[in-house]
Structures are given as structure tokens and as C-alpha cells.
Chains A and B, each alone.
Chain A
């Protein structure tokens, strides 16, 4: 039986789903910098789907995260749940990438580093950009079929996959040839918790960006190369790729490679506007409903 090579694309995002009073500024806007960073929820569902395929059929789960070095947290959490290898795609020149530029970078990473993949999985959308575009655009660039809003894998063999996916007012069972890209919804599964043994081991995982800080903590290592070798021997060194490593040209990534630009951002202010008070009696209600009808509100 075939073992499947799976690539999961995971993003670190600010936790926009749980905005509490503490993250609100006095002027009623959200203090984005105060939001904790989390594993994008639907990417976690994608990782879970990949891990379940690995359990059922065998194979490897590689996780790639594109972001600043803090995205290492997402990669480590993937290791704690059972991913086999994780990779950080991080480069200042990637900053400002819109979905087109991001999908280009991800496609370059996958094609240059994990070219024999069978299935790429990612969440349907990220909770900060809310676009749901990176999945389909990466599929287009990789030249593979895309199956979006996947809820369940119905069948999988060495050359084909059948999934149940959401459609408007219903669902469908669709079949595609491998290799393929799936985007996964939050209704697909319940992501597993960390595995204690893996947490203990991979807590110490680090990439090159972390080395200078770690060196101050481990004086037994004289330089970064020694520390890196040590980490590698323990399976704790996480590869960090820049744009040269994935042969991505500068013009196709970052601001230069992004046709979309932000003209303006306005925070939504939740401050009082003053409401029209309606008397809670027959007369007040009658006038109120009349007004709604007159305004064509109802």
C-alpha cells in the first residue's frame, strides 16, 4: 500500500476570534499588537487530516509555515502533534506579500524541496486575511487539482482521492487524481492535543534564527555551527528557508510581487451612537413598526 507524502501549509495568525476587553483600546478599536498569536484554526484541521491519513495508510507529514521567525511556534506545535518534519519559510523580502505572492513563494518551496508530494493540505482560510485564496492559488501554480471546503476523505488510493466537500446548500462527493491540494474546513475533524512525549522532545527544537539566543544559554557550545550540529544530531534543527533557498525571484514576492495594495484601513469603533427609545407598550410598538415599514426596513 502506498505511503503518502503530505505537505501541510500552516500559518501563525493573531487570535482575531477571541477579542476580549483587554485587546480593546479606549477609543473602541482593536489593539492588534495585543492579540496573542495562534495556529490558524483551519490549518490545524488540515494538519489533523494529514495525521489521520498517515495513521491509516502510512506516509510522512511535512509542515511548512511562511512568516516571521515567531512562526516557529506553529511548527513546534505541529511536531508536538506528530508531524514528521517542519520547515520555516522566512525572509524579510517576503514581507508585504499578498495572496498571489504568497502562493508563489509556497509553490516554489514545495516544488524545490518536497517535489514528490501526493497531497498538499491547508485550512480553507486564515482568520486574519479571511481571503481563502492562498489554497486555490497555490494549487493553480503547482498545476494540481484543488478540492476546497473538504469535510471528509471518503476514499484514498495510490492514484485517486474521493472527498466530501461543502457546496452551496448541500454537499458533494468529488474524485480527483493525485497529486492534489485540499483546503479543509473546521467541520472536518477535532484536532488532537499535544502528545506529551513529543512535547518534551521538541520543546527544544530551534532554527538558525534562534541560535544566537540559545548560545547564551548553552555556553558549552562555542559557536553557532557547533550548536546547530548538536541540534541536528538530536533531530531538533528546523530548516529555515529564504527566497534564494527556494529559487524565488525578488520581483515575484513581497510588495513587488503583489498586485493588491491596501489604500486605507479603518478600525471599527464600537462606541455609542444613541438609539431611538421605543415605549414597551402597544402604542409605542405600533408607531415603531409603522416607521420600519415606511423606511422599507421591513
Chain B
């Protein structure tokens, strides 16, 4: 079993550009590769994609494996799984990471199944450590794949010590974008994918890009309004504060159910789960449902005139007051700083 292989990150590309997730993963990939003492590589599949290699080197990749072919222009599960699977079989990485995007969660399990290896979905953290199995076998320097499960009520640490590569899909917006190192170069390895006579290919007939209306998942800052905002009209305060901060607008289920805002904005167990750096909860009481969807935020600010609201039990900062007074104060302060 190849336990000394490289750490690979799948560099997702779509609409002719690299997706952020493939770049974000290079920061964690770098950490893992350094801990293991091996090289970090990106895997880049597509048509006319060689132009992306420099960005990957600048964000920390030591190597980029490139499969560049017109047949890979549009994503197809079987073609991509074959190309990526063949690379893995040839070069024996010990870890392969993919973004937990729709694409990543479509591709990674297909590869894992064909290679008969383990795969952990939607990880929020990855570490290197040791593991002793229930049967008593000791494994050193394996990948801890850490993820929420059970609707977000537990955090599980999963390991796949008996197989290589160890594979995981990683949640977007969790790992930071690594700093750019201008002029950093690396090794490009060109591989010709063997895609002839593949069965089970799908054919894309039409693609529609929808305007990115709400992207809570990737948001670094979220201003969220709850039932306490009081009305659809009053949600303007939330929108204004979000605009001042460059933030996305979120909402509790109660606010959505009351018709103050559309379901696209709902944060919580039955909405979107978010992990922004800053989450400002305005007029949100903090039901278990809602908390489960945002409690992993790095910093939580609660604005509520009820000091007993459960939201305060997970807040880092609490402002006990009327949001109709507090939010304008915040907006004013931020606008002043912007002018400076």
C-alpha cells in the first residue's frame, strides 16, 4: 500500500475559470503535505485549462497534473472519474481532496467506488494523526476526516487507514484562501486521458447560469434577520447593514414563514448551513433549528432586546437592545470608516 504518496487537491473549474474551492483547499493541502513531508499537487481536468496552472502554483501547489482534452470540456461523471482514477492509479497519492460542491459530491464517490477506497463527505476539518483500530492495529500519520453529521448535531472524526488514497470532500468556505506567492513556479505534468470507448457517458444539451441571488454558503459575513425584525418592510434594515458590510443576507425560519423574506435566505437545519467569519443575528431568538445552521460561525453577534433569548448562549458578542436603534448606529459607524 502506497503510504508515502503526495497530497492531491482536485482543482475544480467551471464556466472557464477555477472555482474557489480548489484554491481554498490548497491551504489545508499545504498543511497536510508539510505534516506528511510530501509534495502538494493540484489535479486539473478540462479543455484549454493549462492557463490555470500558474494560479495554482502561486497558491501553494508544488505540482499540477493536467489532463487537457476537448472531450473534457464539459463535466461528465464517467469521463472525469476515468481520467482522475487513472491518474491516481498511476501516481499513488496518499490523500485526495475535492470540494464538497455539487460537482465534487457527484465525482468523488464514483471514483471511490471504482477504486474501492473510503470517502468522507463534507469535511469541515482535516488533521494528521495516529489511530488504533478496535482490532488493535496501529496506524501512524493517517488523515483525520472531521465532519458534522446527524443534521449537524454531532461532529464525527472518520478515518480510512487501510486503503490509499484517503479521500474526502471538503466544505466550501471553511478553509481560507492561501496567500499568493507571486512568481512561485512548480512542475506541470501533462497526461493524456484514455477516454475511448467509455460507456455511460451523459450528454449535456443545455446549460443555464442563474444569477447568483443568494450565496450563503460561501459568505464570509452574514447579517441575519429574525421574527423580531417585525415586517417585510423593516427587513430593509438588514439589507442596509449587509450592504454596508459587504455581507450576505440571511434569515431565520420564523422570518421566512412570516413572509418577511424568501426561503433562499433561510439559515438553519431546514435552510442553509453556514460558517462565515462573522454572523450577526438581529431579532433572532435562536431556536435549536437555527443554531444548528450557524453555530460554527467564527464570531457570532446577537442583537436582541430579550436578554433571555437562547441566541445569547452561543454569541461571542451580545447587544441587548432594540435592533431598530442599534442597526442604524452600526451602519453609521461603518460608513464613517469607509469614508476614511
A residues lining the B interface (CB < 8 Å):
14, 16-21, 24, 29-30, 32, 98-100, 103, 127-133, 135-137, 139-141, 143-149, 162, 166-177, 258-268, 270-273, 275-278, 280-282, 284-286, 288-289, 292-293, 295-298
Whether the pair B155, A265 counts as a contact (CB closer than 8 A) is: yes
B37 interfacial by beta-carbon distance below 8 Å: no
Whether the pair B209, A267 counts as a contact (CB closer than 8 A) is: no
Residues of B within 8 A of A17 (CB): 151, 269-270
Interface residues of B in 301-340 (CB under 8 A from A): 302, 310, 312-322, 325-326, 329-330, 332-334, 337
- Other-chain residue from B19, B144, B295 in contact with A168 (beta carbon distance below 8 A): B19
Binds A, one of B22-30, B49-57, B98-106, B177-185: B98-106
Give how many B residues have a beta carbon under 8 Å from the other chain's beta carbons.
91
Whether the pair A260, B158 counts as a contact (CB closer than 8 A) is: yes
Interface of B is mostly: mixed
Whether the pair A289, B158 counts as a contact (CB closer than 8 A) is: no
Whether the pair A275, B149 counts as a contact (CB closer than 8 A) is: no
Whether the pair A282, B329 counts as a contact (CB closer than 8 A) is: yes
Could you tell me the distance between the alpha carbons of A296 and B221 in the complex, rounded to whole angstroms? 12
Whether the pair B103, A168 counts as a contact (CB closer than 8 A) is: yes
Tell me, rounded to whole Å, the shortest Cβ–Cβ distance linking A100 to chain B. 7
**Closest partner residue, chain A, to B289 (CB atom):** A19
Whether the pair B159, A103 counts as a contact (CB closer than 8 A) is: no
Assuming the A-B contacts A19-B292, A172-B206, A280-B326, are A262 and B158 also in contact, with contact meaning beta carbons closer than 8 angstroms in the complex? yes
**Closest partner residue, chain A, to B212 (CB atom):** A169
Contact with A along B155-186 (1 / 0, CB 8 A): 11111111100000000000000000000000
Could you tell me the distance between the alpha carbons of A145 and B155 in the complex, rounded to whole angstroms? 33
Tell me, rounded to whole Å, the shortest Cβ–Cβ distance linking B181 to chain A. 20
- Other-chain residue from B109, B131, B163, B321 in contact with A280 (beta carbon distance below 8 A): B321
Residues of A within 8 A of B155 (CB): 265-266, 268
Could you tell me the distance between the alpha carbons of A133 and B259 in the complex, rounded to whole angstroms? 35
Whether the pair A260, B205 counts as a contact (CB closer than 8 A) is: no
Residues of B within 8 A of A20 (CB): 288
Whether the pair A137, B113 counts as a contact (CB closer than 8 A) is: yes
Residue from B158, B200, B245, B292 having most chain A Cβ neighbours under 10 A: B200
Whether the pair B116, A259 counts as a contact (CB closer than 8 A) is: yes
Contacts A133-B105, A177-B200 known; list 6 others, CB within 8 Å.
Answer: A19-B289, A100-B118, A131-B121, A131-B122, A145-B78, A280-B320
